[in-house]
Each structure stands twice: as C-alpha cells, then as structure tokens.
Amino acid sequence: MAKVYATGRRKTAIAKVWLENGNGQLTINGQSLDQWLGGHDSIKKRVMQPLHVAKQETSVNIVVKTLGGGYSAQADAARHGISRALVAYDEQFRTILKPHGLLTRDARSVERKKYGKKKARKSSQFSKR
C-alpha cells in the first residue's frame, strides 16, 4: 500500500506523520526514538502506545516531523498522529484505538493572560488597608 499521511496535535505542537508497510522503523525528526527522547522512557512508551495496542510494531515504517511546543507535547502530538495514520491505513484499527482514547485530540492548552493580573488567574495580594 502507498504512504498514508496524518496530522497530530497537542498544545502548540504539531506532528506530521507518514506511515507505510515496512519492518517497524520509527524516525522522528531524522532520528530514532532513543536518540530523540534520550532517557525519557515513559514518554517513549506514550509514543509507541498506538503501535502496541494495534500490534503493528514490526509491520509498518513511520516517519514523523514535529514542530512547536516542547518535547513532551511533541511526543503526544506524534502519538495522536500515529493513531490517525493507523486508522487511515486500515479502518479496522479504529475499533481498537478508540476505547483507549488514542484518537481524541487533547484540547487542553495554556490559558491566556488577562490584563490586571500577573498570569492567567494569579492576582496581586489583596490589601484591606
């Protein structure tokens, strides 16, 4: 089958994902997963979660290009993109991935700062006198 493209998002991070038949190679920003994330094992597991759930670790090659946000948000965006690419690759994966919440975009993002406040909600200390 030809390459399948999908986009994943989290906070301000965006991941562009290309998925094709292969032998289980995962490349993120031109690096392997171990080079890209170093010693962050829990984040590595989050990136690989859709492949483990769908049992496709050794049957597809994935190329991911991430931009924006930090490495954790980029990893979650890659997870979302890989999940969407698997569904575009084969519609049967939808019933497997959906109960695990892997197809849902995490809509939480940073709340904007308001005028008169120090941060989004933090105010200066109230003085009665």
Tokens standing for residue 79:
């997870």
- What are the chain's domains? 4-100 (3.30.230.10)
Q: What is the pLDDT of residue 129?
A: 87
Q: What is the pLDDT of residues 57-103, one digit of tens each?
A: 899 999 999 999 999 999 999 999 999 999 999 999 999 999 999 99
Q: What is the pLDDT of residue 2?
A: 80
Distance CA 85, CA 80 (A): 9
Q: In the predicted model, what is the mean pLDDT of the chain?
A: 93
Tokens standing for residue 34:
């171990």
**What stretch of H or E contains 39?**
none
Chain mean position to CA 103: 10
Average pLDDT over residues 44-62: 93
Reply yes or no on whether the pLDDT at 1 is more than 90. no
**pLDDT band at residue 51 under the 50/70/90 scheme:** very high
